[in-house]
Structure 1
């Protein structure tokens, strides 16, 4: 066990935004909220999966909604902690440990805010290893674990308790309620015992996020040194470097959807690239050639600082480096690909691992 302080928050916010693949909330907002909670209540204990006892109750705490909405409607401390309090009321017992459901600039830090206020430890793990846009896109769903009961709250003081039959119905019901709550909500789902958590989560993701953030902060302004260290850590690939020339972005069905177009520069001079997103970056192409697709991770980084740019923060003219990393092996199973692969998002092609795509691309340019 160790403790998360303000310095760690700075690094985790950056690294989690990289792993969040453009989604999971804005890292600037997340770190402000988490730092304030730690200043107010003190550092938060971070425990590993190995330290988790079989009988401990672990609950995920997160925010749901379109990233563009959350920027304009910042969640309060009361809103973030309310679903946990409601869940304890429903279950008739106290929660022992909280955890992030996904990696992201806000969703990795939501549990830390709650943990600081409630005096609880945070589990160094999540259920995606990245961010995905829908509630059933978690390793708990892959392993057949129940999301029910789900508690949801908003800034108006509304609270809702749901008992969905499975993860798919959890997404459908939560999404409709989130839209009615103004496009964003706070929630708790998957209240599970340690014995089930241990075999299902993706471990050490907060520690990994902190390490990535440290690389980027240390390498800031040093000719993309931080990006290179990060790529080595995550066994990743540099897809292209360029300038954003066009963005289509709209709010639809509770998601931020769209695409961004890029004009290559430096080694990619004269080439055209496109990224498609639904809260998170899902597909990257050079012309019609596929470079990477979900469930592998795509991150858009500022070319000067190496800091991640989320889908709602992309701007015309920004100079960026786009990178990709292999996803966790759980997402490469048949059920994993069926749940989060490109065909689920209605792209008309099958999933190919990013390392295979990059090998093919390299062989074509030799």
Structure 2
């Protein structure tokens, strides 16, 4: 069934890769690296499988933490959330769970499912719903492909559980976010329950790719250069963190990062907007890159990604941008997680290009760098 086993030796590299694809979000990997290592030490290695390995009617459990990454740093989970959530899902559906899938490959949300799978005695799917990290529940490939989030399961660190039956994916985000805030802005969630027949609706190879990127960072003589080549990334700036503005509210971390260039970038300044993840990079009002493409803030020497909640004044960083999965560049993908979905007025311009794709427009009378005040 599986020709790959995830072992304790793989976890540090997987953590490095997931941090890169987290684009600042998904949660800091440090605590979850320890938790996953303990889970594998106790329960054994985790089979990494493909959707094609599953029977068509088998039940898949996509898992992720929901909330503000800053809250996750201060409030650790109980360690029993995944067990509780699985029991709730099986009770509600009357079916056994066959496999775990990371809802997003970014940050702790890409790494923690390895530990949860070990704890539950289940395989992990080499797939996810984003190919990166996004802050809102409806911003997943399953929503883009028309699979409804009609039942959402949640559990918090105290063991409070909830089963939500929203009318659509947008309401799943609103309801779940409200409960998450009530639980201290951190909870475990399972939505978009899938079957083995739903492989068309996910992004394949995510875990393997994150593992490969992590190994590259650990072994490369020039990690940032190696990452640029591996990802097909554009180097936006190398410089120093000049200021970080962060505010934890409504279950998100929101704010901005300001980087002052040095070396060949001397005299330049860029701003990166934050909503858990790095959303848009701008210089003098001009958009350099933005969602749904990926923006990473990396330590200039090691290439290790710096999470939103770990940004500090004086850090020497390199800001990269690279292309998202092609699914996000479709009209439905851009509607779900493009600039307008975050309240921006500018059109989506693919990283490395100077022209917006067909169907990506700027509202009349809007400046391309203006963020709409409705969000």
TM-score > 0.5, shorter chain as reference: yes
Whole-angstrom CA distance in 2 between matches of 1:7 and 1:105: 18
Whole-angstrom CA distance in 2 between matches of 1:23 and 1:294: 13
Moved more, 88-97 or 171-180: 88-97
CA contact (8 A) 2:59 2:95 kept: no
Deviations 1:139-176 (A, max 9, x none): 11011112232111111121101111221111011000
Unaligned runs of 5+ in 1: 359-366
Alpha carbons of structure 1 residues 309 and 357: separation in structure 2 relative to 1, 3 Å: farther
Deviations 1:44-76 (A, max 9, x none): 110023323312211101110000000001123
Whole-angstrom CA distance in 2 between matches of 1:32 and 1:350: 41
The counterpart of 2:333, out of the listed 310, 332, 336, is 336
The counterpart of 1:95, out of the listed 74, 97, 102, is 97
- Provide the residue aligned with 2:82 in structure 1: 80
- Provide the residue aligned with 1:116 in structure 2: 118
Alpha carbons of structure 1 residues 247 and 357: separation in structure 2 relative to 1, 3 Å: farther
Whole-angstrom CA distance in 1 between matches of 2:225 and 2:207: 20
CA contact (8 A) 2:107 2:133 kept: no
> What SS is found at the alignment partner of 1:75?
coil
- Provide the residue aligned with 2:240 in structure 1: 243
**Segments of 4+ moved more than 3 angstroms:** none
CA contact (8 A) 1:274 1:284 kept: yes
CA contact (8 A) 2:247 2:254 kept: yes
- Provide the residue aligned with 1:55 in structure 2: 57
Whole-angstrom CA distance in 2 between matches of 1:91 and 1:227: 46
Whole-angstrom CA distance in 2 between matches of 1:309 and 1:126: 22
The count of residues paired between Structure 1 and Structure 2 equals 354
Are 1:303 and 2:305 an aligned pair?
A: no
Whole-angstrom CA distance in 2 between matches of 1:303 and 1:30: 24
When the two chains are superposed, the root-mean-square deviation of aligned CA atoms in Å is 1.4
The counterpart of 1:253, out of the listed 250, 253, 266, is 250
- Provide the residue aligned with 2:277 in structure 1: 280
Whole-angstrom CA distance in 2 between matches of 1:52 and 1:287: 50
The counterpart of 2:347, out of the listed 337, 340, 350, is 350
Whole-angstrom CA distance in 1 between matches of 2:82 and 2:70: 18
Moved more, 336-345 or 168-177: 336-345
CA contact (8 A) 2:78 2:158 kept: no
The counterpart of 2:165, out of the listed 138, 163, 166, is 163
Unaligned runs of 5+ in 2: 356-375
TM-score, length of structure 1 as denominator length = 0.94
Are 1:226 and 2:223 an aligned pair?
A: yes
CA contact (8 A) 1:84 1:151 kept: no
